[in-house]
Amino acid sequence: FPMAEPAAADPRVLALAAQVTESREQDIPLLLLKLKGILNSASLSYEESKKIKQDIYNYDLTQYCMLILRQDHSKLRGGWATAAQLAEILSHCCVGLEVKEDPEEFYKEFLPSVIDNLLFLGRRLQARFIRAIKGEEKQDFLHWFQTVTDAICWLFGGHIQLAARVLQNDHFLQLLITDDVETAVLMMSVLHNVLRVNSSVLLQVDGETLHSVLDEIVYKLSSTSNPVVGNAATKLLLLVAKFCKQLVKLLTTRYKGLKDLLSKQWSGKGFDRDLSQLLDLLSLDQSSGKGEMQRQHQAACIIQAVWRGFQTRKRLKKLPQAVVTLQRRFRAKREQELQHLKKEKEDEALKLQMQLQRQRAMRLFHERQLALLEIVHASQVNKYMEEMEGKSALTIQRFWRGYRARRNFHQQKQSLKEYKAAVVIQRAACKFLEKRRRRRPLSPWKDPKGLTDEQRLALQQKVDDYIKLHPASQMSEEMSKELHTQAQEKLAQFLLRSSLDRRAAQRRETLLAQVNTDVELLMNAPGLAETTEKDLDVFMSRSMPVATKARQSHNTMLKYTRWPWWKKLGDEFMEDDVIPDDALNAELGTLFIGGKK
């Protein structure tokens, strides 16, 4: 800190500065309240009071007070009451203080910051006062808000240059723009004090700020019937008209109905004296420029009449088309809404009907089950339930397979079209080639030419030469016997193999007869809708290998039917339901038995 000489410093201020330096942040506001007792000492003279304020400023206690005003006091010890008291203490410390060292910082930086923080604190208190519900709480916040406004008035009363700073602050205009009566009256009293301290302050601020303040005052006169607000606003306008003659013309030109508003709405409300003075000032200014105003008013009326006539004629021309468009859109929208409502009703009716059908079916099913359970013997209940579960499972599987088959059919529809087209093309080509082959004439038979004597002698000579070059080897008796033995063994093997081939042929004939029998059974089998359990037993095989082989053959057939058309170009001239044996033998080497479609 910028320390003063220990002998000249007040011991109470020095001790308080030491406590603030060593204390925690949340304890500082309560410690600073001790400044009120130091400043209000009865034995202090004017010079001593000024010396104490100088010491407080030199030890930065005023800086602490200013910074604490920015904090949220709802979370600090002492609450908002401490904030209001600190605002009062800060304003008293700043008034009557003469800073000799670096006065520019005090007047141009410190005091404007104090004004900003006080107005910011006032906004917080005003917001909490408006939100408060309990009567005691509202009174407390109103009292603290009044304390802060009094501190602001005391501060700019001691430093006149701060009056313009107050008006140009954004927080001040936001405090003034409120619908609450109590805080609005207090803020208008602050503005009243500003004008009394510095009568020309409205001429020193920028035009936007001036218009905003005057707009808010006139708005309060026109939007409320509370006599307290009306009295305060009237006194403010009277003060403005008295001190700032230049602003009277602004009031009469910017707010043309202000005189009628004041005379009609606020007459006889208890402040007629101030009201009559304000009306006289406004009338005096209006009388001087009455002729010019009348001419301008007449010109404006003519321009408005011409413009309104033009707009009316233009609107009348467009009216039929606009009415037709509006009616068309309205009817379309109404039709759309009716269709939507109709669809919703139909959906709801369908949903309700399906729900009723489902409930009725479930009720009938449960009734049927209960009736059957009453008929069935107790020992047969489990068996009956198992049969019902099996039938239910079969029904579900049947529906699922049908759905899957239909889905696969739709997926393979395009492939089926290509397959049939290829069949038609290949059939036509084969018929064309067959006709062409039949038309080709057969060549007559020609006997082979016989050999002449010379050719025969030449050929005989070649054979003799070959025999001379490759003479036959001489075979011994033992080799002849061994060759005879080998021939006998091969003959025995051939005879044995021929017997096995005969047995295999007989087995094939037997299987072929069985296959023919099965084919006849399948061809003569009834449809699925007419099939009974006895018919199923006829086609049931007790051999697991046979069932497995049949399943494999069925899968092979399905795979063959799903082949692309270009793979089956060589087989397209068969019947559509005939599968080549080569394909089946190449796939599984087994036999496929198919029934009728």
Which residue, among 279, 194, 202, has the nearest Cα to 247 in the 3D structure? Answer: 202
Do residues 215 and 258 touch, judged by C-beta distance below 8 A?
Answer: no
Helix 181-197 and helix 111-131, axial crossing angle in degrees, nearest 10? 160
Residue 457, in any domain of the structure: no
pLDDT band at residue 573 using 50, 70 and 90 as cut-offs: very low
pLDDT, tens only, 2-20:
444 444 677 787 777 777 7
Cα three-residue angle 468-472-475, rounded to 5 degrees? 155
Domain boundary among 205, 235, 270: 205
Q: How many C-alpha atoms does 421 have within 13 Å on its Cβ side? A: 8
Residue 77 counted as domain residue: yes
Q: What is the mean pLDDT of residues 477-489?
A: 87
Around Cβ 341, how many Cβ atoms within 10 Å? 10
Q: Does residue 342 carry a pLDDT above 90? A: yes
Tokens of 358: 């489902």
Q: Which pLDDT score is estimated for 581? A: 53
Report, as an integer, the average pLDDT of 488-506. 89
Look at residues 24, 25, 28, 3 and name the one whose alpha carbon lies nearest to residue 14: 3
Q: Do 38 and 10 form a contact (C-beta atoms < 8 A)?
A: yes
Do the domain assignments include residue 72?
yes
3-class DSSP string for 261-280: HHHHHCCCCCCHHHHHHHHH
Mind listing the pLDDT tens digit for each residue in 71-107? 777 777 778 888 888 888 878 888 877 777 777 787 8
List of residues 6+ apart from 535 with CB closer than 8 A? 525, 526
For residue 23, which of 39, 34, 11, 38 has the smallest C-alpha distance? 34
Q: What is the pLDDT of residues 387-418, one digit of tens each?
A: 888 888 999 999 999 999 888 888 888 888 88
Position 167 in a domain: yes
Q: Within a domain: residue 459?
A: no
The share of the chain scoring above pLDDT 70, in percent, equals 87
Q: Is residue 139 over pLDDT 50? A: yes
Residue 23 lies in a domain: yes
> End of a domain among 153, 186, 205?
205
Residue with tokens 């020095």: 14
Q: Is residue 84 part of a domain?
A: yes
Question: For residue 403, what are the domain limits?
Answer: 377-422
The rounded mean pLDDT for the chain is 79
Q: What would the mean pLDDT of 112-140 be, rounded to a whole number?
A: 83
Q: Last residue of some domain: 205, 223, 248? A: 205
pLDDT of 230 above 80: yes
Give the tokens for residue 38.
């130091």
pLDDT given at position 591: 39
For residue 337, give every residue at least 6 positions away whose Cβ sits within 8 Å of its Cβ, in sequence order, or none. Answer: none
Give the pLDDT score at 352. Answer: 92
Confidence of residue 540 (pLDDT cuts 50, 70, 90): low
Contact 569, 426 (CB under 8 A): yes
Per-residue confidence (pLDDT) for residue 339, from 0 to 100? 93
Cα 552 from Cα 588, distance rounded (Å): 8
Tell me how many domains the chain contains: 2
Q: Is residue 434 part of a domain?
A: no
